[in-house]
Amino acid sequence: MIMEKDLQQKLESFQQDVVRQGEDIVFRVFPSKSRVLSIPPLTGNRELTQLLQSMDESSSPFHPSHITGTTDPTVYPAPDLNGGAAKKRKLDEGEEKISQEIATPQVESLHPRYPELVKGNHFVTLSLHKKLKEECEVLAKLTDQVRLWVALTMPKIEDGDNFGVGVQEEVLGELHRAQEASFNLRDIPMQSYLARAKICSKLIKYPNIEDYTTALREHDQKQFFLARQHLLDIRNVYATSTDMVHKNISKIRKPKGDNSIGLY
């Protein structure tokens, strides 16, 4: 069977778009993510660089001055599930006494065992983790597009002159590691919430132990420093990926060069 001419033209057009997008990413987007360029990059691509440069400014959410005062270790009492109602309980002697209503097994099955509340750190959630997740998603998307571009430039499998193909495979491996790094960093907020939830559960169960309060504050402070470091890690991933692609761009574009001259 032979591919229809119209379908073949669409496939070739798609491959050309992939090549154009891939080269635009590695020559404009990646460098602008890792450093400030003299040429105007695509819209929003300097955002990460500007964010990293402004970390030492007091207005930045990543400035250390915002570390204190964002953690609320207070254990708030549980809401009154019975609406404050009281009931009369008759004693054996016939006397009546007002007592606070005791929760029935049916109510206990509908509500948590420890219904007290410890509020989350919304500053970490909305200002730090939100930005980290956005950058991770952008990194994963960009590296996926570049990987597709490199994969489509690989020639057909044949004997001889495969050095350029080996270079392409190394580049694909580096891009794969960059994408895996974005996936791992994307899971950091979830792991942070799970660890914080364990501390909060201990704080609710043992409110008289001050070390759990200290542990909660220390946990939130750690998220500030980790968020700064993770953004730097993302910047470094862009820098290393850009460097590797630029150094081997000739082999990526044309892996099967005319190397027969060097044999004589």
Tokens of 223: 């998220």
Q: Quickly state the pLDDT bin for 112 (edges 50, 70, 90).
A: low
Out of 156-165, 200-209, 233-242, least confident range: 156-165
pLDDT of 128 > 70? The answer is yes
Q: Quickly state the pLDDT bin for 256 (edges 50, 70, 90).
A: confident
Measure the CA–CA gap between 230 and 86, rounded to whole angstroms: 54
Out of 23-37, 85-99, 207-221, least confident range: 85-99
17 Cβ contact list (under 8 Å, min separation 6): none
Q: Quickly state the pLDDT bin for 234 (edges 50, 70, 90).
A: very high
Out of 29-38, 189-198, 204-213, 215-224, least confident range: 29-38
Query: Which has more confidence, 173 or 2?
Result: 173
List b or e across 205-241, with b for residues whose CB sees 16 or more CB atoms inside 10 angstroms.
eeeeeeebbebbbebbbebbebbbebbeebbebbeeb
Q: Quickly state the pLDDT bin for 98 (edges 50, 70, 90).
A: very low
User: What integer pLDDT is reported at residue 82 of this predicted model?
Assistant: 58
User: What integer pLDDT is reported at residue 211 of this predicted model?
Assistant: 95
User: What integer pLDDT is reported at residue 45 of this predicted model?
Assistant: 41
Q: What angle do CA 70, 194, 133 make, to 5 degrees?
A: 70
3-class DSSP state of 97: strand
pLDDT of 198 > 70? The answer is yes
Q: Quickly state the pLDDT bin for 109 (edges 50, 70, 90).
A: low
198-211 average pLDDT score = 93
83-107 average pLDDT score = 45
121-139 average pLDDT score = 91
124 Cβ contact list (under 8 Å, min separation 6): 70, 192, 220, 223, 224, 227
pTM of structure: 0.76
User: What integer pLDDT is reported at residue 132 of this predicted model?
Assistant: 92
Q: Quickly state the pLDDT bin for 44 (edges 50, 70, 90).
A: very low
5-20 average pLDDT score = 91
Query: Which has more confidence, 54 or 242?
Result: 242
Q: Quickly state the pLDDT bin for 259 (edges 50, 70, 90).
A: low
